[in-house]
Amino acid sequence: MASAGRTEIGEVRTPDVAEYLAVLREGDDDHPPLAASSAGRAVVAVRGLHSFAVAAGLAEADPARTVRPPAPPRRLPRAIPIPDVERLLQVPGDEPAQRRDRALLELLYGTGARISEAVGLDVDDLDLDAGDLRALVEHRHQLVELRTRAKNGLQAMALGYGLRRRGRLWSAAGQEELEKIPLREGMARRRKDLLQLVRQLTAWIKELDQRIEEEVARREDAQRLMTHPGVGPLTALGTVLVLGPVERFPDAKHVTSYVGLIPREDSSAGRQHFGRLTKQGNSLLRFLLVEAAQVASRYDDALGRVYRRLAFRKGAASAKVAVARKLAIRLYIMLRDGINYQEFCRRGSHAGMLVNKPMFWE
């Protein structure tokens, strides 16, 4: 302070204290730089000195009050080596407490959860049935993808021999025409196997569809979602299972972000740029919403207007995604407020304005 012309403690100003902290951190010719913790202790001592000076009447104001000590660097926790974790999980014993401890260790290591998060879990929050149903829905989706690939192979084969039937290729007449095409041994075997695969996959998909319809019949929330045009049993059940308790979403923006139906944002200095979709979250629900949105836009006037306007400006692909995002918001509101499509339409476009509680007209 003397080198800066400060001879009395009352003459010290806030920039002087900040400069003193910078010298401590950077060092000079006579003193090495201090670590953040050591410099922080020095700043605390300076703050105590000036606080005493103000209390004793030696200074009018405390210049060190707004100067914060440097924060020490945060170090990432060290992960337990895999061999050590395996030894922990292989500790013998089959008592309830020992099994509980092993389950907690597997949970902590497998998910990266904090201990505070693990101890806050409630057994009642564990829904094994919902997880099993999600597996069924995802399995059906995978079967449909396999069937689509098999059908595309057969369509390519038919086109290669001049048979152009599109969707009619899967009718009885189309199948008969396909089987009459003269083929050599390799292609004939491929045709036979693909036809058998399509029939088998179709049978399995029908069984899963029946199981999904049975489950939807037991869930009132899924039945309410099915009152919306374009939303069938699969989309309704998938939405309920993936979103889970909708109370965990503060608003509709969090839902669309969770599903991955929002664009990436690259903004700086007042410039805002939106890119492609983030595609985060559950890809199956995102696929179901996009598929359902194409049907919903034909039967819902508001969604239809959105689709036609955006399809003209940005193309059909962007329009489908935009309608799917609006559909996701609608389904969230219907689940949150416990209403069907008719009640949603009665409330009008203001149905999504309130966030945390159901809405009623006065």
Query: At residue 4, does pLDDT exceed 70?
Result: no
Q: What is the pLDDT of residues 266-287, one digit of tens each?
A: 666 566 666 677 677 788 899 9
Question: Hey, CA dihedral for 308, 310, 311, 313, is it positive or negative?
Answer: positive
Average pLDDT, the chain: 84
- Tell me the average pLDDT across 110-115: 77
Which regions of the chain does DSSP assign to beta strands (E)? 263-265, 274-277
The tokens 């060190």 sit on which residue?
64
Judge contact between 242 and 284, C-beta under 8 A. Answer: yes
**Quick one: pLDDT band at residue 351, thresholds 50, 70, 90?**
very low
**CB count in 10 Å sphere of residue 232:** 18
Write the single-letter amino acid at 59: A
Mean pLDDT is lowest, of 102-106, 160-164, 253-257, 326-330, for: 102-106
Please give the Cα distance from 130 to 133 (Å, whole number): 5
Question: Hey, CA dihedral for 251, 253, 254, 259, is it positive or negative?
Answer: positive
Question: Torsion angle, CA of 293/297/298/301, rounded to 10 degrees?
Answer: 150
Judge contact between 175 and 233, C-beta under 8 A. Answer: no
360 vs 297, more confident: 297
Check residue 152 and give its pLDDT: 94
Q: Which of 231, 230, 300 is nearest to 222 (CA)?
A: 231
Judge contact between 18 and 43, C-beta under 8 A. Answer: no
Instruction: Please name every residue paired with 263 in a beta bridge, in sequence order, or none if there are none.
Output: 277
Mean pLDDT is lowest, of 84-93, 197-206, 311-320, for: 84-93
Check residue 355 and give its pLDDT: 39
Kindly calculate the radius of gyration of the chain based on its CA atoms and give it in whole angstroms.
Answer: 33
Q: What is the pLDDT of residues 205-252, one digit of tens each?
A: 999 999 999 999 999 999 999 999 999 999 999 999 999 888 889 889
Q: What is the pLDDT of residues 20-40, one digit of tens each?
A: 888 888 887 777 888 888 888
Please give the Cα distance from 265 to 257 (Å, whole number): 12
Check residue 83 and give its pLDDT: 85
Start-to-end CA distance of the chain, whole Å, equals: 69
Write the single-letter amino acid at 60: E
**CB count in 10 Å sphere of residue 347:** 16
Helices (H), 218-282: 220-225, 233-243, 252-259
DSSP structure class, residue 170 = G
**Quick one: pLDDT band at residue 333, thresholds 50, 70, 90?**
very high
Q: What is the reported pTM?
A: 0.63
Q: What is the pLDDT of residues 146-194, one digit of tens each?
A: 999 999 999 999 999 888 888 899 898 998 899 999 989 999 999 999 9
Q: What is the pLDDT of residues 123-140, one digit of tens each?
A: 766 667 788 888 999 999
Check residue 110 and give its pLDDT: 77
Instruction: Show the tokens assigned to 57.
Output: 């009447």
